[in-house]
Amino acid sequence: MRTIRGRLLVLLTLGMTALLLVGGVVVWFVVRSSLRDGFDESLASKAGLLVASLQLEVLPEHQQRITRLGASVLADLDEKGSAGVDLTERDELLLLAKRGFRVRLVLDPDSFPEYRSSSRPEYFEVSLESGDVLVRSGSLAGTTLGSWHGPAEWNLRDVTLPDGRAGRAIRVRVGNVKFADKLWSQAWSRIRGEARLPNTTAVVLVAKDLGDVEAALSSLRIGMVAVGLLVVAGAALLIFLVCGRALHPLRQLRHQLLDLDAAALRDRVHLDQTPPDLAPIVDSLNEGLARLERAFRRERRVAGHLAHELRTPVAELRAITDVARRWPEDQELRRRCVEQGNEIARHMGRVVSALLRVARAQSGECELETAQLRLDSLLQGAWERRGAAAKRRGQTFLMRGATDLSVDGDPEVTRAILTSLLQNAAEHAPEGSAIEGLLRRDGAGVELSITNPRDTPEVEAFNAAGDLPWNDDSASPSSGQPGLGLPLVAELTRASGIGFEVEVLSGEFRVSLAFPSSA
């Protein structure tokens, strides 16, 4: 599944299944160990009962001789210590002990029904360490449990019972079987210890099948598997529902984004309940939508400004051609009309070329050219191109400040910016006024300000609205070259990295450009 909900469902279900599996294995081993420990305790209890029932007795035919030799050995121990024991008597006593002592099981094996049962019987066997069997349960029926040696007195191991069932057996090594008579027990313990006689050692084996333990473990396995499957299925359903509820904000976000288009950029993403994890994403989306809205608004505004600005030169071209068609016989008039139309077309070409250059640079298709430019020369050239229009209105252009300053910039774009600024200043300044240009170094950069007198109501309207004024539409065919208008100049300066500021002063209008330092 590629959806977030599907991935969460699969991963969480697999993770829970793994945890349940690990937990089930741990529980199974713990319960198994506990059941086997209880089983071993039951075996140990049965074996302990048999061990407690073992007694050592003296056969009647050897009792007198063993008593006499034992009394003699005790006398020697009392008089001379262990070093004074007669070795002949010691060896004879050792031989008599092997023949005259007998290990006896006090309890009657037939009194234990579990050792006589025909269905799932239990087994026991008592033998000497030499391997001679003393007594065995009736369930063995002539067979034997075998024997094994272990590191401890009590040893447990898994075995195969005589009837083929899996079982478990305990082996208990009884190193010193006690006499039933306390006097004999005390005396013989002293003789055996100081005369260094061997102990009478018996081995008790008890075995029982593991059927109850295995049945309990099998039931536990089945129960754990069934419960585990139910838990996994319920957890998967719960995860599915919880993920659906938790991912509701994402679905709501998707629906809102699908409804967005260029006509709905003013809308913003708003969720009923925004989780903290999604809040940064929602904020970033809204910020991106705000930037897109501003970009689209700026593009529409630039397109409108450009269409508005091109109306003037187009109107001039139409006026010039109309004049030329009205008086076709006047060759001089036709020549001047052709020259003015050509100049207007060339200027419009430069403007469009500058705008296209900036647009390509902004889209990453190309880079703006960079050259070292003398601003005073560019300003003088732009003013001279106004020619007759400036003389007719009696306007002059004064250049002040440091006139030898150079900046780095695109020649065509910079020329279009300066020409348009001078055009706008001249069109909005009264006749006979002076337009002033001031060049000065500002820190590491260069600042250019163009100031023209202005006392018409449009300035106050501009100041109140906070928008850049249009170039007047009153330009005549003889008014000189058309300008871009301040809104388009603002776009060009923004794309070229040039600071742009407009100030409305008392009776004056000032535009300032801040060029970065020249390399």
509: CATH: 3.30.565.10
Beta-sheet pairing, 445-453 with 499-505: unpaired
325: CATH: 1.10.287
Closest CA to 471 of 416, 507, 423: 423
Check whether residue 300 and residue 191 sit in a common domain: no
Distant-in-sequence, close-in-space partners of 263: CB < 8 Å, separation ≥ 6: none
Residue 506 inside a domain? The answer is yes
* Torsion sign (Cα): 187, 190, 195, 197: positive
Residue 232 inside a domain? The answer is no
Per the structure, the complete domain to which residue 53 belongs is given by 4-216
Tokens of 48: 């302990």
The residue out of 366, 389, 416 marking a domain boundary is 366
Tell whether pTM > 0.75.
Answer: no
Do 60 and 183 touch, CB atoms closer than 8 A? no
Residue 242 inside a domain? The answer is no
Check whether residue 424 and residue 445 sit in a common domain: yes
* Calpha distance 125→204 (Å, rounded): 6
Check whether residue 275 and residue 341 sit in a common domain: yes
- The number of domains in the chain is 3
Residue 20 inside a domain? The answer is yes
User: What's the pLDDT at 230?
Assistant: 93
Distant-in-sequence, close-in-space partners of 85: CB < 8 Å, separation ≥ 6: 73, 76, 77, 194, 195
For the chain, which residues score pLDDT lower than 50?
457-483
How confident is the model over 252-284, as pLDDT tens digits?
A: 887 877 777 777 777 777 777 777 877 888 888
Check whether residue 51 and residue 193 sit in a common domain: yes
- Backbone φ, ψ for residue 373 (5° rounding): -120, 140
Check whether residue 317 and residue 286 sit in a common domain: yes
Containing H/E element for 158? strand 154-160
Check whether residue 316 and residue 202 sit in a common domain: no
The residue out of 216, 237, 272 marking a domain boundary is 216
Residue 245 inside a domain? The answer is no
Do 305 and 490 touch, CB atoms closer than 8 A? no
Check whether residue 349 and residue 379 sit in a common domain: no
Residue 253 inside a domain? The answer is no
Check whether residue 343 and residue 206 sit in a common domain: no
The residue out of 366, 390, 417 marking a domain boundary is 366
Cα-Cα end-to-end distance for the chain: 58
Check whether residue 212 and residue 263 sit in a common domain: no
Helical H segments across 195-210, by residue range: none
Distant-in-sequence, close-in-space partners of 399: CB < 8 Å, separation ≥ 6: 376, 379, 380, 437, 439
Residue 252 inside a domain? The answer is no
Map residue 147 onto helix, strand or coil: coil
**Integer-rounded Cα radius of gyration of the chain:** 58
How distant, in Å, are the alpha carbons of 168, 396, 397, 428, 511 from that of 380? Answer: 115, 11, 8, 19, 17
Check whether residue 289 and residue 412 sit in a common domain: no
Check whether residue 360 and residue 380 sit in a common domain: no
SS3 content of the chain, % helix, strand, coil (to 5): 55, 20, 25
Check whether residue 38 and residue 179 sit in a common domain: yes
DSSP 8-class letter at 386: T
Residue 235 inside a domain? The answer is no
User: What's the pLDDT at 459?
Assistant: 42
* Calpha distance 88→72 (Å, rounded): 11
Closest CA to 208 of 111, 114, 109: 114
Closest CA to 125 of 141, 145, 105, 110: 145
